[in-house]
């Protein structure tokens, strides 16, 4: 593990460590002297860096999205911390531990993917099964599916977060369909597996999690609407009414216009799926808030996504164990 991380930097400290280059440019001082300005980062955050001399070599070899090794001093400039670089070179691949730059799910992605395939194969309706398995077993999509985060900051914001979220939703879908016979489990599973495939390309997550320009301009709902629609068109004979139903499931899953769904759920499965998706996402956001130290022993940090903080139940109930050990 690299040391220190961006969030560990103290003023007037001298450091030697590795960073990812987020931005690189040459600027001029007022006196016309060129200098190098970089934005550097790791999984904990980003910081500006400037190099005033002897950066000619660095210009040639180093580009955005490269990993670098730096020797630098931590300073404050215009009230913001920055690095004054003394040495800078490309890092060697063997020096870099990708886990220092991107957080990762703690679960086994291979197992999660196997579960996903199992859910896809359990779909009874032949058209939906063909559609869903075709998409998730496409090697290019599968590779991204195993890696994509579910969001940039809201919930499951780490590599593998998307598949973790989707497998969880498949489990919920199965259970809920078992309780309400009026619901079609195939539609719920289809919604669960396909409702966020647009995120595979809405976000980029090679070396950091960010939005692509397409993601910003279109959003994952539109992107998956297009790719899934094409996939249905490619299946000869796919019933047109069923296509409309699948499209409706995708575009209505945010549940409200102001959350970017151009249509309210008007099919029972779409209504129910919206609640399941919300439940799993919001619970993950609560979990993330509780995972951080807020300074207040009984409370989580404030979750911007949920507009509140959460109680640490065990701290509040103290010695009192909610479920007696012999009953667990």
Among 32, 93, 237, 324, binds a copy of itself (CB under 8 A): 324
Using only the alpha carbons of the chain, give its radius of gyration.
24
Q: Which residue number, 109 or 306, has a Cβ lying nearer to a copy of itself?
A: 306
Minimum CB–partner distance for residue 137 and a copy of itself (Å): 20
Q: Which residue number, 51 or 232, has a Cβ lying nearer to a copy of itself?
A: 232
Minimum CB–partner distance for residue 301 and a copy of itself (Å): 13
- Report how many residues bind a copy of itself under the rule CB under 8 A: 89
Site for a copy of itself contains 189 (CB under 8 A): no
Residue 199's Cβ-side half-sphere holds a number of Cα atoms within 13 Å equal to: 26
What does the alpha-carbon distance between residue 161 and residue 158 come to, in Å, rounded to a whole number? 5
Site for a copy of itself contains 218 (CB under 8 A): yes
Contacts to a copy of itself from residues 87-126, by CB under 8 A: 124-126
What does the alpha-carbon distance between residue 150 and residue 93 come to, in Å, rounded to a whole number? 27
**130 and 235 in contact (C-beta within 8 Å)?**
yes
Contacts to a copy of itself from residues 36-65, by CB under 8 A: 39
DSSP per-residue letters across 136-174: HHSHHHHHHHTT--S-SSSSS-SBTHHHHHHHHHHHHHH
What does the alpha-carbon distance between residue 116 and residue 104 come to, in Å, rounded to a whole number? 18
Q: Which residue number, 11 or 28, has a Cβ lying nearer to a copy of itself?
A: 11
Contacts of 111 (CB under 8 A, 6+ apart): none
What does the alpha-carbon distance between residue 22 and residue 312 come to, in Å, rounded to a whole number? 37
What does the alpha-carbon distance between residue 247 and residue 238 come to, in Å, rounded to a whole number? 13
What does the alpha-carbon distance between residue 287 and residue 284 come to, in Å, rounded to a whole number? 5
Contacts to a copy of itself from residues 275-314, by CB under 8 A: 275-276, 278-279, 282-283, 286-287, 290, 295, 297-299, 307-311, 313
Q: How far apart are the first and last CA of the chain?
A: 37
Among 77, 98, 108, 138, binds a copy of itself (CB under 8 A): 77
**104 and 126 in contact (C-beta within 8 Å)?**
no
Q: Which residue number, 94 or 320, has a Cβ lying nearer to a copy of itself?
A: 320
Among 140, 179, 236, 237, binds a copy of itself (CB under 8 A): 179
Site for a copy of itself contains 134 (CB under 8 A): no
Contacts of 103 (CB under 8 A, 6+ apart): 43, 157, 158, 159
Among 259, 292, 302, 304, binds a copy of itself (CB under 8 A): 259
Site for a copy of itself contains 10 (CB under 8 A): yes
Among 26, 57, 175, 302, binds a copy of itself (CB under 8 A): 175
Instruction: Kindly write out the interface string for residues 223-252 of this chain, putting x where it contacts a copy of itself by CB under 8 A and - elsewhere.
Output: --xx--x---------x-xx-xx-xx--x-
Stretch that binds a copy of itself, among 92-100, 146-154, 157-165, 261-269 (CB under 8 A): 261-269
Q: Which residue number, 52 or 77, has a Cβ lying nearer to a copy of itself?
A: 77
Site for a copy of itself contains 208 (CB under 8 A): no
Minimum CB–partner distance for residue 247 and a copy of itself (Å): 6
Minimum CB–partner distance for residue 254 and a copy of itself (Å): 9
Contacts of 232 (CB under 8 A, 6+ apart): 131, 238, 243, 246
Q: How many other C-beta atoms can be found within 10 angstroms of the C-beta atom of residue 207? A: 18
Q: Is the previous residue joined to 4 through a cis bond, with omega within 30 degrees of 0?
A: yes
């Amino acid at each position: 593990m690299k040391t220190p991380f961006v969030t560990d930097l103290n003023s007037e400290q001298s450091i030697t460590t590795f960073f990812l280059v987020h931005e690189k440019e040459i600027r001029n001082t007022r006196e016309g002297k060129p200098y190098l300005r970089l934005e550097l980062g790791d999984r904990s955050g980003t910081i500006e860096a400037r190099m005033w001399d002897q950066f000619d070599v660095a210009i040639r070899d180093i580009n955005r999205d490269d990993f670098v090794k730096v020797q630098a001093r931590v300073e404050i400039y215009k009230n913001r911390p920055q690095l004054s670089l003394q040495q800078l070179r490309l890092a060697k691949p063997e020096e870099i531990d990708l886990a220092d730059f991107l957080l990762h799910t703690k679960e086994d992605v291979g197992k999660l993917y196997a579960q996903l395939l199992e859910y896809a194969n359990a779909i009874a309706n032949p058209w939906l099964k063909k559609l869903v398995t075709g998409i998730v077993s496409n090697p290019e999509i599968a590779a991204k599916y195993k890696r994509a985060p579910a969001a940039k900051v809201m919930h499951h914001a780490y590599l593998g977060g998307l598949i973790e979220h989707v497998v969880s939703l498949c489990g919920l879908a199965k259970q809920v369909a078992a309780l309400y016979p009026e619901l079609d489990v195939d539609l719920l599973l289809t919604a669960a597996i396909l409702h966020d495939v647009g995120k595979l390309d809405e976000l980029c997550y090679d070396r950091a999690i960010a939005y692509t320009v397409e993601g910003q301009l279109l959003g994952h709902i539109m992107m998956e609407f297009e790719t899934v629609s094409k996939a249905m068109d490619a299946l000869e004979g796919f019933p047109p009414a069923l296509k409309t139903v699948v499209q409706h499931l995708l575009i209505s899953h945010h549940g409200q216009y102001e959350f970017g769904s151009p249509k309210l759920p008007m099919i029972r499965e779409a209504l129910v799926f919206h609640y399941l998706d919300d439940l799993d996402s919001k619970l993950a956001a609560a979990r993330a808030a509780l995972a951080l130290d807020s300074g207040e022993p009984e409370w989580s940090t404030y979750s911007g996504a949920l507009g509140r903080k959460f109680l640490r139940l065990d701290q509040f109930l103290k010695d009192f164990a909610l479920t007696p050990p012999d009953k667990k």
